[in-house]
Amino acid sequence: MTDKAPALISASEWRRPRLRHTVGTLQGLLLVALVAFGLGPILWLAKSAISPTRDTLSHPMAVFPHGPAWSNVHQAWSTVQIGHYFWNTVFLAAGSWLSQIVVATTGGFALSVLRPKYAKVLSALLLTTLFVPVVVLLVPLYVEIVHPPLIHHSFIDSYWAIWLPAGASAFNVVLVQRFFDSLPREIFEAAKVDGAGPVRLFVSVVLPMSRPILGVVSVFAILASWKDFLWPLLVLTNPDRQPLSVRLPTIASQTELGVFLAALFIATAVPIVGFLIFQRSFLNGPGLGGAIKG
């Protein structure tokens, strides 16, 4: 630390014990504050999910004054049917993920690797759409879902109403395009010399080198789908097909607090655990930092 941060604290100043102890104490306090504000609400929710309702209301910060209530989780999963809505959410997230992966990778491949003459125009149009607020698009998008062109069949109460709009993510296409731009062009030229066409180049060369950016897009896609509330509320009117984000507010008024907090914990824990498990294999890899910063 003494050699790598001379702009803040010089090496001679860092040798002073008083300065080292002061900075170390401040760093420790900052770390404790970050952990408390970041993990505190999640830990409290985990504790309250297995606490009796009376304990949560009377002693919200106490740790199981009358013992844990593991039945909350069982009631939330079975009686309140959180399990059913959970699998609805998983199915929706999986379809949204697949839709975004397909569009982002093929779009990024076309703009970065194939590079047609109008690639710069398309890239500029994609960047322009990023400045349009999402709420402005709700009405025209809803009209398209109710009366889709050429199909003449409404997508209301169909999961396609979630999956198709999810794929139209300009941010993901731009992100993947910038990552593909950082890949060595010599590999693409060598593959073309060996006779690889666009499909073979995409499947056998580009995709195997794109694991880091595919992980980033996957994390963004799944988390966005998992927490999305407004759009599923508009297009999925059948309660049996709705995800957790839409059903939880209704469940709150129909069940006791302990069971509801258990349902909230289930909905919150799954994306956190999934990200912690797969973050290393998803996010580690060469060229990723440049793709995000660029």
- Residue 283: per-residue pLDDT: 56
* Secondary structure (3-state) at 168: coil
- Residue 93: per-residue pLDDT: 93
DSSP category for residue 69 = -
- Residue 88: per-residue pLDDT: 94
CA neighbor of 92 nearest in space, from 234, 200, 244: 244
Could you tell me how far CA 127 lies from the centroid of its own chain?
21
- Residue 281: per-residue pLDDT: 56
d(CA 145, CA 65): 52
Task: Put residue 178 in one of left, alpha, beta given phi > 0 → left and psi -120 to 50 → alpha.
Answer: alpha
| Three-point CA angle 174, 175, 181, nearest 5° | 85
CA neighbor of 278 nearest in space, from 237, 218, 233: 218
Six token digits for residue 31? 């770390």
- Residues contacting 87, CB < 8 A, separation 6+: none
Task: Supply the Cα-derived Rg of the chain in whole angstroms.
Answer: 25
- Residue 107: per-residue pLDDT: 92
The residue length of the chain stands at 294
d(CA 89, CA 246): 10
pLDDT by residue for the chain (294 residues), tens only, comes to 444 544 466 677 777 777 777 877 888 888 888 888 888 888 889 899 888 988 888 888 888 888 888 888 888 888 888 889 999 999 999 999 999 999 999 999 999 888 888 888 988 888 888 888 888 888 999 998 998 888 878 899 999 999 999 988 899 999 999 999 888 888 888 888 888 888 999 988 898 988 888 888 888 898 889 989 999 999 999 999 999 999 998 888 888 888 999 999 988 887 788 777 766 655 554 444 444 444
The answer to whether the pTM exceeds 0.85 is no
- Greatest alpha-carbon pair distance for the chain in Å reads 76
